[in-house]
């Protein structure tokens, strides 16, 4: 069980929760602040003054005063009316992460909910009750209303959930898990659905997967460099120190490390009449290093957001209840767009290396399309075409989402972030990139084997051996779709980077 400290939880902890589906609870030290804010909200709800979100309607209906005896029904109706999500369900690992982020936000003691609300989420995580969250319907302000409403619906016994992997009604899931549906008090429904946790969870998942893709790309780029007998001179540390960008320096250093000891490289230091390699070989540190620095910038933004209070109104110093706009997910939208650009560029340069290796005019004497018997065999010809298709798709998906605002809710919410689908698209983009890198892995391994008896480095040979345990060498044409899927799965699982010893910490 992971203990969360609101306001101080690092990305490494959230990464562990995402990868391992680890349950989490708030530190008990958060309880006093939560209890104090909840008391202030309860007192306000019983009073005569109208305070938005506590004893009023919502959005354009904020001028409607709600009687104290109706506040419980108000919160329940809010949840049910906002369950308007559509589309495929969000994967369970992202739902768990979203629920964890909601714990962190409520645990700051500014949302005014009771500890009972927090313990309901904790118990659901611990007992594997995972709400079914439709993936479409949020515009990223006034928070991720629809998806978070589906989460809150499960808490009150409405909607659908999965219990131990089986989908059923939320009421049945809670009953099987021996969890009592919660009756929401003043502001608690609003505190649950008003926030950026859906967008932030999807952006974090996209970030974690993009870092894994970046790691794998250093290994596949190193394999490709050996396959085409490329030069390691562009990796010399002095070049990158003179420019000074941390990502570029890190990429060059890691590539030097994984290529250390390659016989292939040593074989053509002298007598090679090629002066320079194409940019896709020579500029991997500059391109993926830039992408890495962009991902690190997004990391800092998302770590702050993960620990932020993003509902409305908030209980602030002095017991005041103040209405603001922390629910607006513009920060998350910008971060998601940055991640998308990085993912697209990592794939763009990798695809060019695939094209280089299958082209006998550019591959330095590798067989056409990397088949030993070209003509009767087409080899990896169409695998390269697949990477071109996925690269192009990712370029289209990388177009910014955060600039595409549209007014909603009778023009009350007249500027929105579109962070939700900006973050959601990252899953598809990373899947596409994993296939591009998987095909590069297949091509580079085939190319290095064509250089026998010369050997690559130990780290790269270990990577090829891992691949060959799943996918045999391509000596004759065969049904290739399973090979591509297997190679992409190794990339997605982090095995390519792990075997070679490449690791970018979240």
Please identify every residue annotated as catalytic. 52
CA atoms within 13 A on the CB side of 157: 13
- As a whole number of angstroms, the distance between CA 210 and CA 207 comes to 5
* Residue pair 390/101 in contact by the 8 Å Cβ criterion: no
Other Cβ atoms closer than 10 A to 89? 18
* Residue pair 426/201 in contact by the 8 Å Cβ criterion: no
**Distant-in-sequence, close-in-space partners of 86: CB < 8 Å, separation ≥ 6:** 134, 136, 137
Retrieve residue 225's tokens: 């460099």
* Residue pair 136/421 in contact by the 8 Å Cβ criterion: yes
| Closest alpha carbon to 198 in 4, 402, 420, 405 | 420
* Terminal Cα distance for the chain, rounded: 20
* Cα radius of gyration rounded to whole Å, the chain: 26
Other Cβ atoms closer than 10 A to 155? 27
* Residue pair 206/245 in contact by the 8 Å Cβ criterion: no
Torsion of CA 482, 488, 490, 495, to 10 degrees: 170
Q: Which DSSP category does 319 fall into?
A: G
């Amino acid at each position: 069980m992971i203990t969360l400290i609101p306001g101080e939880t690092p990305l490494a902890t959230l990464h562990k929760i995402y990868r391992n589906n680890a349950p989490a609870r708030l530190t008990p030290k958060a309880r006093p602040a939560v209890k104090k804010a909840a008391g202030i909200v309860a007192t306000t709800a019983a009073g005569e003054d109208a305070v938005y979100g506590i004893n009023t309607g919502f959005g354009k209906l904020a001028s409607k005063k709600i009687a104290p005896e109706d506040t419980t029904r108000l919160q329940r109706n809010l949840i049910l009316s906002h369950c308007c999500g559509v589309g495929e369900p969000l994967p369970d690992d992202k739902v768990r992460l979203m629920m964890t982020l909601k714990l962190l936000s409520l645990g700051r003691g500014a949302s005014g909910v009771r500890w009972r609300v927090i313990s309901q989420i904790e118990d659901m995580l611990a007992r594997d009750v995972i709400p079914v969250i439709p993936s479409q319907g949020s515009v990223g302000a006034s928070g991720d209303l629809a998806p978070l409403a589906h989460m809150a619906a499960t808490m009150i016994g409405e909607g659908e959930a999965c219990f131990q992997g089986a989908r059923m009604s939320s009421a049945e899931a809670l009953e099987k898990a021996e969890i009592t549906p919660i009756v929401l008090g003043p502001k608690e429904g609003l505190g649950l659905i008003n926030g950026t946790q859906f967008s932030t969870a999807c952006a974090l998942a996209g970030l974690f997967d993009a870092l894994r893709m970046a790691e794998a790309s250093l290994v596949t780029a190193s394999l490709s460099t050996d396959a085409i007998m490329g030069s390691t001179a562009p990796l010399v540390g002095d070049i990158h120190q003179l420019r000074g960008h941390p990502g570029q320096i890190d990429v060059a250093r890691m590539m030097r490390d994984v290529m250390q000891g390659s016989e292939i490289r040593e074989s053509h230091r002298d007598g090679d009449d090629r002066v320079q390699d194409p940019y896709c070989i020579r500029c991997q540190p500059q391109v993926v290093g830039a992408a890495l620095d962009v991902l690190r910038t997004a990391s800092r933004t998302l770590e702050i957001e993960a620990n932020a209070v993003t509902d409305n109104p908030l209980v602030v110093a002095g017991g005041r209840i103040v209405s603001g706009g922390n629910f607006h997910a513009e920060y998350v939208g910008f971060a998601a767009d940055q991640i998308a650009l990085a993912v697209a560029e990592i794939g763009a340069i990798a695809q060019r290396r695939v094209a280089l290796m299958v082209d006998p005019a550019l591959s330095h004497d590798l067989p056409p399309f990397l088949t030993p018997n070209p003509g009767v065999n087409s080899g990896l010809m169409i695998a390269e075409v697949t990477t071109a298709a996925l690269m192009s798709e990712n370029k289209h998906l990388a177009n910014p989402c955060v600039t595409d605002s549209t007014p909603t809710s009778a023009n009350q919410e007249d500027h929105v972030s579109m962070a939700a689908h900006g973050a959601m698209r990252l899953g598809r983009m990373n899947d596409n990139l994993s296939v591009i890198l998987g095909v590069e892995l297949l091509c580079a391994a085939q190319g290095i084997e064509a250089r026998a008896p010369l050997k690559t480095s130990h780290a790269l040979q270990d990577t090829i051996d891992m691949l060959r345990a799943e996918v045999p060498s391509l000596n004759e044409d065969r049904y290739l779709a399973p090979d591509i899927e297997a190679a992409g799965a190794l990339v997605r699982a982090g095995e390519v980077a792990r075997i070679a010893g490449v690791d970018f910490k979240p």
